[in-house]
Chains A and B, each alone.
Chain A
Amino acid sequence: EAQVTQNPRYLITVTGKKLTVTCSQNMNHEYMSWYRQDPGLGLRQIYYSMNVEVTDKGDVPEGYKVSRKEKRNFPLILESPSPNQTSLYFCASSLIDSQAPLHFGNGTRLTVT
């Protein structure tokens, strides 16, 4: 089944404790991206990647890191999480095509205390 898989689904952590949220897709998509969803703000892009070893900042990259060592994986790293990073995070992927929609994972609910 074609899908984007994120892990974990739920994560509670404390300020400053490094964490990684994994994302994997099995559709051979070149493009991958991370979003956060906050009430009243919709989905805001954190980072994106056009292909292996190519990453770029989105609208809200502060406090996050990403890597794209393999085409299928795009982990999101929070080196020193803070409470304002408490949010719902989505990974997404698509083909590099002007008419290709994004496919989303099921989300990771992160709480930083």
Chain B
Amino acid sequence: DQQVKQNSPSLSVQEGRISILNCDYTNSMFDYFLWYKKYPAEGPTFLISISSIKDKNEDGRFTVFLNKSAKHLSLHIVPSQPGDSAVYFCAARRYNFNKFYFGSGTKLNVKP
């Protein structure tokens, strides 16, 4: 039973517009959430994270929003660039447990 779900396998966005990637989780004990980006033939690379005590974290063009009551996480990329085209994984971790739960990924295509 997947505790972290990404229900959109793919997303296509025009360059310069906003990309919004979504993630839902079921375990209310998760307290640390992350987004990873993966290019073909490479391993996932850490992008941005958020602690459960926050509802927003920004890093340049990337912002992660956390809605704990809805158990929902989203990643906003503004403005989107062709180089952002990749598979994005969300992940969650439970406090004091060294186990990360990953979603199935969303493939983002940013069209020039």
Contacts and interface: CB of A to CB of B under 8 A. Distances in A.
Nearest to A43: B102
Contact of B99 (A40, A45, A90, A103): A45
Contacts of B51: 99
Contacts, number: 60
Contact of B46 (A31, A44, A96, A101): A101
Contacts of A58: 99
Contacts of B89: 42-43
Nearest to A103: B46
B56 to A, nearest CB: 16
Contacts of B105: 42
Interface residues of B, number: 28
Contacts of A99: 32, 49, 51
B43 A31 contact: no
Given A42-B89, A101-B34, A48 B98 contact: yes
Contacts of B59: none
B103 A42 contact: yes
Contacts of B4: 42
A106 B43 contact: yes
Interface of B: 2, 4, 6, 9, 31-32, 34, 36, 41-46, 49, 51, 89, 91, 93, 95-96, 98-100, 102-105
